[in-house]
Amino acid sequence: MATLQQKHDWADDDELEETSTELPPPQKITNKDGSTTIIEYRLNDNGQKVKTTRRIRYITHREVVNPRVADRKSWAKFGLSAKDGAGPAPDTTSVGENIIFKPSFNWRQDAKDESKDPNAQAMKDKLKDKKVKCRICNGEHFTARCPYKDTMAPIGEAGAAADAAASAADEAAAASQGTAGAGKKGSYVPPALRGAGGAAAAGERMGGKYGERDDLATLRVTNVSEMAEEQELRDMFERFGRVTRVFLAKDRDTGLAKGFAFISFADRSDAVKACAKMDGFGFRHLILRVEFAKKAA
């Protein structure tokens, strides 16, 4: 017996088991903690052996029931239910989704938040104190009317939130733009006529702070991993100085990064340092390429 087992190669074990159609007898083990383990074997549709291990603990729960109620539970079913078996019949009885019901004095407040969204009136109320925000420069105008729309790509939402300092400057610029554009009152101005009214503003725009920042302290990072997050980039670049803006281009549908990002520093010298150190940095299996952002054509 012992020799036979020695000869037997362990690698064949698996195969042997599969070919044998005999099923081991079910086992019942009583555990120390009072539970019972039941191991059963069966063959599934593909002829494969399936081992089912169940651990069961029996708890005797005693309940004192009204004898009349107990008697009624043993009544035979009748009428349309006469043929139903014991227990609730699935065609007449089902269980609904869980309802959280907790009585409270201010349930109305709790409930309001839920009911608000689909309600148009509530939506209006919500938007009442919302301000128009430009996706490009965070200014208080529509993105389509942004003075910088030709020069910059829209910034990501997370980046925009962090971009406190830059947007403050933008708002100042936007305000001046706003006074210039106030006369138009939102009416359409053909491109040919736009130059005349906005000449001064355009001139200001070219030499504005935004352009300066773009030129001097913004790095373009390419070969960024698809899985990258803005916060990660921010963390990486913050080592070299104060980062005012991080923009990671993301695909609108999939939410994955497109592979490039812009990092704006408060100080140009920090940007130079970062450019030198981070170029060729390995990040998420890819080697980053960092260079100064070129002004858009």
In the bound state with other proteins, the residue whose beta carbon lies nearer, of 79 and 282, is 79
In the bound state with other proteins, the residue whose beta carbon lies nearer, of 19 and 66, is 66
Q: What is the 8-class DSSP label of residue 125?
A: H
Which 125-164 residues touch other proteins, going by CB under 8 A?
none
Task: Give the contact letters, 91-130, x = binds to other proteins (CB under 8 A), - = no.
Answer: xxxxxxxxxxxxxxx-xx--x---x--xx-----------
In the bound state with other proteins, the residue whose beta carbon lies nearer, of 12 and 113, is 113
Considering only 44, 46, 66, 187, the residue that binds other proteins (CB under 8 A) is 66
Q: Does 190 bind other proteins (CB under 8 A)?
A: no
- Nearest CA to 226 out of 254, 247, 245 is that of 254
| CA distances (Å), origin 158, targets 58, 116, 232, 238 | 53, 26, 12, 16
* Alpha carbon of residue 30 to chain centroid: 46
Q: Does 73 bind other proteins (CB under 8 A)?
A: yes
Query: Closest separation between CB of residue 130 and other proteins, Å?
Result: 24
Q: Output the six-digit token pair for 239.
A: 């080592």
Q: What is the 8-class DSSP label of residue 218?
A: E
In contact, 260 and 220? CB cutoff 8 Å: yes
In contact, 289 and 222? CB cutoff 8 Å: yes
- Nearest CA to 222 out of 279, 297, 159, 153 is that of 279
- Nearest CA to 29 out of 19, 20, 21, 40 is that of 40
Query: Closest separation between CB of residue 86 and other proteins, Å?
Result: 8
Q: Does 83 bind other proteins (CB under 8 A)?
A: no
Q: Strand order of the sheet with strand 257-265?
A: 243-250, 257-265, 218-222, 289-292
Query: Closest separation between CB of residue 119 and other proteins, Å?
Result: 8
In the bound state with other proteins, the residue whose beta carbon lies nearer, of 12 and 91, is 91
Query: Closest separation between CB of residue 120 and other proteins, Å?
Result: 12
Which 198-257 residues touch other proteins, going by CB under 8 A?
none
Please state the φ and ψ torsions of residue 233, each to the nearest 5 degrees.
-60, -45
H or E stretch covering 246: strand 243-250
Query: Which one of the spans 63-71, 141-149, 231-239, 251-259 is the region binding other proteins (CB under 8 A)?
Result: 63-71
Query: Closest separation between CB of residue 124 and other proteins, Å?
Result: 17
Write out the residues near other proteins by the rule CB under 8 A: 66, 68-69, 72-73, 75, 77-82, 84, 87-89, 91-105, 107-108, 111, 115, 118-119
